[in-house]
Structures are given as structure tokens and as C-alpha cells.
Amino acid sequence: MTDVDLDAEKYEKHREAGEILAQVRDEAADRLEVGTSYLEISEWAEDRIRELGGTPAFPVNVSVDEEAAHGAAGPDDDRVVGEEMVKLDIGVHIDGWLADTAVTVDFSGNQDLVEAAEEALDAALDVVEAGVDTGTIGAEIEDVIDAYGYNPVVNLTGHGLGHWEQHTAPNIPNRGVSQGTTLEVGDVVAIEPFATDGSGKVSEGQQEEIYSLEREATVRDRSARQALDQITEEFKTLPFATRWLDVPRPEMALRRLKMNDIVHGYPVLKEEDGCLVSQREHTIIVTEDGCEITTRSR
């Protein structure tokens, strides 16, 4: 297979992942209501991805109110959605080629904050093309969110999507920066503005339900060894959930793997002032004079 053929196949798989993801995102958002179980909506979306021919690229994130990212349902999670601001962040891959998207569903009565992130994403997409500096994209995001009277979350960024890699270069800032990266034709990136009525920074919380492989190694404990076999064969370097592991006492197996620096966790990220956060995200392929949005609703 030539490099040209490989590139064509790669982009088709990105597109296929995006098409599946757009449908699942919209359907999941429609299903979400006050009283919906975190576990039910997560498992429903992940099963729906598989039903449509894709594979979840990471566990469905259900992050509420001040949680900006990495909220996820545990194995026996009994939490339900309340009158809150809910972020659904979902990913799909086809043979390791990814799409990543997020939407905010608001039950808290703060729709303006949702619209700030949505309009910021639209403004960012309007300036994307080959040759644009990522700092220019960040400035567009910041200007829109500022105009709403809110702040962008400055220590979260959009990102490139690689083969079996959810976060690669370049970073896409959510504010204007003087030294960014120049986008090129064919770059596949996820742009994801976060808006908040707080000061605009997140820090790590205590809860952790998402992990990914750090390095391959040997481990003595049988359950940990079985978990590692599943991780390397099924998830490779992509993030996975505790509840995805088919081993007895998965929490204990993960604890052992983490102690040996074989996996690392993704703690929930929370706005430092405890204020609300909204999010919107699309995956795009950069073109000569714009971009192709792979996760656009059909």
C-alpha cells in the first residue's frame, strides 16, 4: 500500500468515526434528563457506538457543574443527573483513527454559558485553514467567551488526534497566545472551548475512574496481569474505564498497576472556584481554505 493510499484510508476512517460519533452524541444528548443514571447513559452510548460499527475511543465522560472533564461512571455507580450543567464528552475510533466530540446539556438554568462555548467553537472553526496560527484560534475563542461576560478555561486546550493517541500535538489554546503552532493541510485536531463563570482554571479532584497504559511491564499479581493483558490487547494506549476490565476486583488490579507506574489515572478536573463550566467540541480535518468537520450532525 502506498503512502497516498494509506493517507486516504486513514482519513476515511477518521470520517467514519466522526459520522458514528455525531449520531451517538446527538442521540445521547436527547436521552439525557434529570434522573438519568450516569452509568446507564454511559453504557448506552458505548454500546450504541459498537452497534454502529465503531469502538469507544475512551470512556464516556459525564462531568457536571464545576467538573470540566474526566468525570466518569464507576462499576456500580448509582449517581443520577440532577438540575445541573452536564458535559458529555465522547470518542470513537476505527482501527485506531479517532474522532472526539463534546456537548453541554443544561438543567441548571444557565443556557448563556452553554451558548458561550458553542459560539466560541463556531468562531474558531470560521478561522481554521492551512497556515493559521493556533494562537489566532485561541484569540477567537477568548473574544467570544469574554463578550458573554465569562472566562475561558485557560489550562485546558484542544489537541491533535493521532493513531491510537487521543492527545497529540498541536495544542489548540482557549485564549490568545503569542507563539502558537501553524496548522497544515491534513492535520486532524479537536477544538474544544470551555467557558466558566469562575476565574478560568481547573485543578485535579480526588475521583479517578479513567486510566491509560503508561508502559508495558511484568507484574506478579494474577488479576493485575490479566488486566494488563486486556489493556494492551484491547485498549492499547487509549484511555479505558475501571468498569471495562473483565477481571475480579478491577479496582485492586488497577491499584497494583498504578503502583508500578504501568498505568496512570485521569483525575476529575474541577474549576478552582467551584463555578460552572460548559464545553463544546468538534473534530476537524484542516484543508487548504478551511476545514472539514467530521463530527458535524448529519
Q: Are strands 67-69 and 290-293 parallel, antiparallel or unpaired?
A: unpaired
Residue 6 has what pLDDT?
58
Point out the residues that are catalytic. 89, 100, 159, 167, 192, 281
The average pLDDT across 69-95 equals 97
Hey, what long-range contacts does 247-256 have (CB within 8 A, 24 or more apart)? 247/223, 248/223, 249/223, 250/75, 250/223, 251/75, 252/223, 252/224, 253/221, 253/223, 253/224, 253/226, 253/227, 254/211, 254/227, 256/219, 256/221, 256/223, 256/224
For residue 223, is pLDDT > 70?
A: yes
Q: Which residues are annotated as a binding site for substrate?
A: 70, 167
Binding-site residue ranges for a divalent metal cation: 89, 100, 159, 192, 281
Annotated binding site: 70, 89, 100, 159, 167, 192, 281
What does each C-alpha distance from 264 to 116, 241, 253, 261 come to in angstroms? 33, 12, 13, 7
Tens of pLDDT, residue by residue over 20-57, are: 999 999 999 999 999 999 999 999 999 999 999 999 99
The CATH architecture annotation of domain 3-206+273-293 reads Alpha-Beta Complex (3.90)
Q: pLDDT at position 298, please?
A: 85
What is the C-alpha to C-alpha distance for residues 58 and 66, in angstroms, rounded to an integer?
Answer: 21
3-206+273-293 shares its CATH topology with 210-265: no
- pLDDT value of residue 229: 97
- Write down the pLDDT at residue 58: 98
Region 75-104: mean pLDDT is: 98
Strands 240-241 and 210-213: antiparallel
Question: Is 3's pLDDT higher than 80?
Answer: no
Is it true that domain 210-265 has CATH number 1.10.10.10?
Answer: yes
Q: Mind listing the pLDDT tens digit for each residue in 250-296? A: 999 999 999 999 999 999 999 999 999 999 999 999 999 999 999 99
Residue 287: per-residue pLDDT:
96
Residues 97-129 pLDDT 10s: 999 999 999 999 999 999 999 999 999 999 999
Domain ranges of the chain: 3-206+273-293, 210-265
C-alpha grid cell for residue 178?
503569542
* pLDDT tens figures, 136-176: 999 999 999 999 999 999 999 999 999 999 999 999 999 99
Model confidence at 89, pLDDT cuts 50, 70, 90, reads very high
Q: Which helix (H) or strand (E) holds 225?
A: helix 222-230
